[in-house]
Amino acid sequence: MMRKVTLVMVATIAVLMVFGSWQSAQALSGTFTTLSFPNASATTCGTILVSGGLVTTSAPWTARFRAVDGRGRLVGSNTATGPGGANYSGWGTEYFTVNPTANPIHVTITVNEGGGSVTVFDQSLDNPCVPPAGATSLVGSTDPAGFVLHTIICDVAVYDRPGGQPVADNRIRAGQTWFVNPKPVTTDAGESWTEISVSGYPNGFIPTRCVG
C-alpha cells in the first residue's frame, strides 16, 4: 500500500514572487548525503532518516525508497510522487516494516522523471539494534515461531504490555505488514491486545482492533 511521504522542500516561493517568473530546472540533479537511525539503541531499531544534500527535479517524478538488511531481506520500502521544478533537502523519516536481523542496513532512493531511474541516495550503515556486520543477531526474529503476517489497519503506538504505556515514540502505520501473535490477550478491562514482533526485544503490544 502506497503511503505518502512528506519531503523537506527548500523554500523558493519568495524568490519566484520577487522575480515574477519560474526558471525551470535543466534536469534531475543532486543527491542526498546522510543516513541515520534516530532513537535506535540495543533494544530498538528506531526509524530511518535520509537527510542532507540537495535534489532538484525538472518534471513530475516518482521515487522509490528501499532498505535491505545484511541478509538481503527487505526491511523497509515506500513510493512517493511529486512535481517538477522543485528542490528537496532530504527524504524524511521512514519506518522499519519488519525487523532487521543483520547489519549493515543498505538504503537506496531512486527517482524516475519518465526517462529512466536516477539513484539519488545509496548508503549502508550499521544499526545498534542488531550486532555489527558479520555477527549473529540476538535481537527480535524477523519471523518468530508461531507468529503470522498481518496488515495493520490503523496508525498506532507500540505499547510495553497489554493496556500499558507507549514505548518512546515507536509507532506503526496503517498498510504496513508485521508478524503478530495470532492469540490476542484480554485485559481485566476487557480490552483485546495483540503481541507484535517489533524492531527489538522484548516484543510490544497493539490494540487488536488495529490488526487486519
Overall average pLDDT of the 185-198 stretch = 87
Residues 95, 49: Cα–Cα separation, whole Å: 9
Backbone angles phi, psi at 134, to 5 degrees: 95, -15
Can you give the pTM of this predicted structure?
0.55
Give the pLDDT of residue 201: 53
49 in any annotated domain: yes
Give the pLDDT of residue 49: 96
**pLDDT tens-place string over residues 70-110:** 878 889 999 999 988 889 998 989 999 888 878 899 999 99
| pLDDT over 60 (residue 18) | no
Overall average pLDDT of the 40-54 stretch = 89
For residue 165, the domain's CATH number is: 2.30.30
Q: What's the full length of the chain, in residues?
A: 212
Q: Are 108 and 157 in the same domain? A: no
Residues 1, 132: Cα–Cα separation, whole Å: 32
Q: Which of 173, 168, 130 is nearest to 151 (CA)?
A: 173
Tell me the pLDDT band of 192, cut-offs 50, 70 and 90.
very high
Q: Are 116 and 152 in the same domain? A: no
Give the pLDDT of residue 33: 94
**What is the edge-to-edge ordering of all strands in the sheet holding 48-57?**
29-36, 48-57, 86-94
Give the pLDDT of residue 204: 83
Overall average pLDDT of the 45-67 stretch = 93
Number of domains, the chain:
2
Q: Are 20 and 114 in the same domain? A: yes
105 in any annotated domain: yes
| pLDDT over 50 (residue 23) | no
Q: Are 155 and 120 in the same domain? A: no
Give the pLDDT of residue 42: 74
Tell me the pLDDT band of 7, cut-offs 50, 70 and 90.
very low
Q: Which of 31, 54, 35 is nearest to 118 (CA)?
A: 31
Mean pLDDT, rounded, of the chain? 79
Residue 177, domain extent: 148-210
For residue 68, the domain's CATH number is: 2.60.40.2550
Overall average pLDDT of the 159-168 stretch = 84
Give the pLDDT of residue 11: 37
- Residue with the bigger pLDDT between 146 and 190: it is 190
Give the pLDDT of residue 71: 79
